[in-house]
Chains A and B, each alone.
Chain A
Amino acid sequence: MKMPSPTRRHFIGGLLGSASFWLYSDHKVWADALAVGNAGPYAPRYFNKEEWRFLNAACERIYPTDAHGPGARGLGAPEFIDRQMDTAYGRGELWYMSGPFVSAPANLGYQLSLPPREVYRQGIAGADAYVRAHHDGRSFADLETAEQTAVLKEFEHGEMALGAVPAHLLFEQLRQNTLEGVFSDPLYGGNKGLAGWTLLGFPGARADFMDWVNQEGAAYPFGPVSISGETA
Chain B
Amino acid sequence: MTTKKTDAIVIGAGWAGSILAKELTEAGLSVTVLERGEDRATAVEGDYPTSIDELRGAIRHRLFQNLSQSTVTIRNTMDQDAVPYRRLAAFLPGEGVGGAGLHWSGVHFRVAPDDLALRTNVIARYGKNFIPEGMNLQDYDVTYEELEPFFDKAEKVFGTSGEPYTIKGKVAGTGNPFAPDRSDAFPLPAMKDVYSATVFKKAAANVGYHPYSLPAANASAQYTNPYGVQMGPCNFCGYCSGYDCYMYSKASPNVNILPALRQDPKFTLITKAHVLKVDLDSDGKKATGVTYLDLNTNQQVQLKADLVIISAFQFHNVHLMLLSGIGEPYDPVKNTGTIGRNFVYQTITTSRAWLPSKQYTNLFVGAGGAGVAIDDFNSMNFDHGPLGFVGGSPVWVNQAGVKPIAAAIGGPAGNAPTWGEGYKDAMVETYRHSLTIDAHGSNMAYRDVYLDLDPTYKDAYGQALLRMTFTWKDNDIRMNQYVVSKIEPIMKEMGATRYALGHLHANELFDTRRYQTTHLGGGAVMGADPKTSAVNRYLQSWDVSNVFVIGASAFPQGMGYNPTGMVAALAYWAAYHIRTTYLKNPGPMVQA
Contacts and interface: CB of A to CB of B under 8 A. Distances in A.
Interface of A: 61-64, 66, 68, 87-89, 92-98, 100, 102, 104-111, 149, 152, 175-176, 178-180, 182-185, 187-188, 196-197, 199-203, 205, 207-210, 212-220, 227
B425 A179 contact: no
B68 A97 contact: yes
B84 to A, nearest CB: 5
Interface string B425-445: 101100110000000000000
Given A111-B83, A210-B233, 17 more contacts: A93-B68, A95-B67, A96-B84, A107-B511, A109-B86, A109-B513, A184-B55, A200-B404, A201-B360, A201-B362, A205-B52, A209-B235, A213-B193, A214-B192, A216-B195, A227-B50, A227-B52
B168 interface: no
Nearest to B59: A180
| Residue of A100, A213, A218 contacting most chain B CB atoms (<10 Å) | A213
Given A96-B85, A102-B81, A214-B195, A68 B424 contact: yes
Contacts of B407: 183, 200
A62 B195 contact: no
Contacts of B81: 102, 104
Contact of A196 (B61, B70, B404, B421): B404
B2 to A, nearest CB: 28
18 contacts: A62-B419, A94-B87, A96-B68, A96-B87, A98-B84, A102-B81, A108-B74, A109-B74, A152-B420, A183-B404, A199-B427, A200-B408, A202-B404, A207-B238, A209-B362, A213-B193, A216-B195, A227-B49
Contacts of A100: 456
B434 to A, nearest CB: 12
A108 B405 contact: no
Interface in B45-82: 48-50, 52-55, 59-61, 66-68, 70-71, 74-76, 80-81
B419 A217 contact: no
Nearest to B403: A202
A53 to B, nearest CB: 19
Q: Which 8 A-B pairs have the closest CB atoms?
A: A217-B359, A207-B237, A183-B404, A184-B55, A179-B408, A107-B511, A96-B71, A209-B365
Contacts of B458: 98
B182 to A, nearest CB: 26
Contacts of B55: 180, 184-185, 188
Contact of A200 (B85, B193, B235, B431): B431
A203 B401 CA distance: 12
Contacts of A87: 60
A219 B565 CA distance: 35
Nearest to B75: A108
Interface string B204-246: 0000000000000000000000000000010111110000001
B360 A217 contact: yes
Given A96-B84, A183-B408, A210-B235, A63 B365 contact: no
B126 interface: no
Contacts of A219: 360, 362, 432
Contact of A205 (B49, B88, B428): B49
Contacts of B239: 207
Contacts of B358: 217
B428 A199 contact: yes
A203 to B, nearest CB: 6
A4 B423 CA distance: 30
Contacts of B67: 94-96
Contact of A215 (B195, B408, B428, B511): B195
A63 B53 contact: no
A214 B404 contact: no
Contact of B365 (A179, A205, A220): A220
Contacts of A152: 419-420
Nearest to A183: B404
Interface residues of B, number: 73
Contacts of A183: 54, 404-405, 407-408
Contact of B428 (A96, A106, A110, A200): A200
A118 B89 CA distance: 21
A70 B88 CA distance: 32
B136 interface: no
B517 interface: no
A207 B52 contact: yes
Which residue among B239, B420, B428, B431 has the maximum number of chain A CB atoms within 10 Å of its CB? Answer: B420
Nearest to B508: A107
A199 B512 contact: no
A205 B329 CA distance: 49
A interface majority secondary structure: loop
A176 B83 contact: no
B298 to A, nearest CB: 18
Given A95-B68, A210-B236, A214-B192, A203 B364 contact: yes
A110 B80 CA distance: 16
B177 to A, nearest CB: 23
A187 B50 CA distance: 11
Contacts of A199: 424, 427-428
B25 interface: no
A212 B399 CA distance: 13
B510 interface: yes
B409 interface: yes
Contacts of B427: 199-200
B54 A185 contact: yes
Interface string B536-548: 0000000000000
B421 A111 contact: no
A228 to B, nearest CB: 9
A31 to B, nearest CB: 18
Contact of A197 (B50, B53, B404): B404
Contacts of A175: 409, 418-419
Interface string B180-210: 0000000000001111001000000000000
Greatest chain B CB density within 10 A among A176, A182, A197, A201 is at: A201
A209 to B, nearest CB: 4
Interface in B344-380: 355, 358-362, 364-365
A95 B86 contact: yes
Nearest to B457: A98
A63 to B, nearest CB: 7
Nearest to A210: B235
Contact of B420 (A62, A188, A196): A62
A104 B418 CA distance: 26
Contacts of A210: 233, 235-236
Nearest to B465: A96
Most buried by A among B59, B192, B193, B408: B408
Nearest to B61: A94
Contacts of A205: 49, 52
B509 interface: yes
A78 B238 CA distance: 28
Contact of A179 (B83, B86, B409, B513): B409
A152 B405 CA distance: 21
A220 B89 CA distance: 31
A203 B362 CA distance: 10
